Amino acid sequence: MCYNNFGDKMTDVVPNHVAIILDGNGRWALKRGLKRSLGHKAGFENLKKLSKHIFKRGVKILSIFVFSTENFKRDKEEVDYLMNLLVDNFKELIDKNSNVKIVFSGRRENIRKDVIETIDKIEEITKDNDDHILNVCFNFGGQFDIIDATKKIYLDINKGKINIDDINEETFKKYLYNEIPDIDLLIRTSGEIRVSNFMLYQMAYSEMYFTNTLFPDFKGKDFDLAIKEYNKRNRRFGG
Ligand code: IPE
Ligand code: MG
């Protein structure tokens, strides 16, 4: 039996796949008169604790949107800071998430060599972990995911590996960056009400939860409230 942060027994249904568009790091820092980069640091610290909490609740898969293909439009200093955050802290990310398989979704072009090496190392070290999956969407765009999958399918059809009539909603998923089940609950922090080119294919029937809380302030108790809200939803999948 699980207890939430208010001490209540949790009898709620726990979503299998939760995805978070973590937003508001910059505003969190600016509100405190700090540089935006310190907001990213605070966001990363929060993520380590929050992911642990979410997995403890029984969520099998957690997807997080940490860097979009469009984020490259930001100042070089901020982009570099975000890249360094991953390289410098990856050990901690693994240690805090024991028996979690960490996978990365996104384009690898234009990413620094040391960052790619770090990503490869994280995936290699955690590949046999099987309690949970942490899907890190990094240099990710939902439209690119679908476009890149379509290109791979075209190549496989040309090689005779797959027949065009075998392409359906399920087989298409095998060609996405990672074959991940559909999102049950999508959370976005910081008050923005949009999906910003996140996992478009996998959010076909997601329940959506938007909160004004900035990501560094989004704690376990806030997640538990999202689960409460999720349990009030009537999921019909079009039926
Ligand atoms: C989210 O916080 C983290 C990343 C996109 C890397 P933001 O950096 O978007 O923070 P705001 O939206 O400017 O406050
Ligand atoms: Mg933002």
The string of pLDDT tens digits covering residues 188-202 is: 999 999 999 999 999
27 lines ligand 1 (CB under 6 A): yes
Q: How far apart are the C-alpha atoms of 34 and 39, rounded to whole Å?
A: 8
Cα-based distances in Å from 212 to 28, 105, 126, 222: 12, 26, 33, 11
Of 68, 61, 54, nearest in space to 96 by CA? 54
Give the ligand with the smallest distance to the CA of 39: 1
pTM of the model: 0.94
216 lines ligand 1 (CB under 6 A): no
* pLDDT tens figures, 60-69: 999 999 999 9
The CATH code belonging to domain 17-141+181-195+217-224 is 3.40.1180.10
Looking at residue 26, its amino acid is: G
* Per-residue model confidence (pLDDT) at position 95: 84
Q: Please confirm, yes or no, whether 23 is among the known catalytic residues.
A: yes
* pLDDT tens figures, 102-141: 999 999 998 999 999 999 999 999 999 999 999 999 999 9
Q: What's the mean pLDDT when you consider all of the chain?
A: 94
29 lines ligand 1 (CB under 6 A): no
Ligand 1 atom with least separation from CA of 28: 14
Q: Please confirm, yes or no, whether 71 is among the known catalytic residues.
A: yes
* Per-residue model confidence (pLDDT) at position 2: 54
Q: Which of 71, 84, 89, 197 is catalytic?
A: 71
Extents of the domains making up the chain: 17-141+181-195+217-224
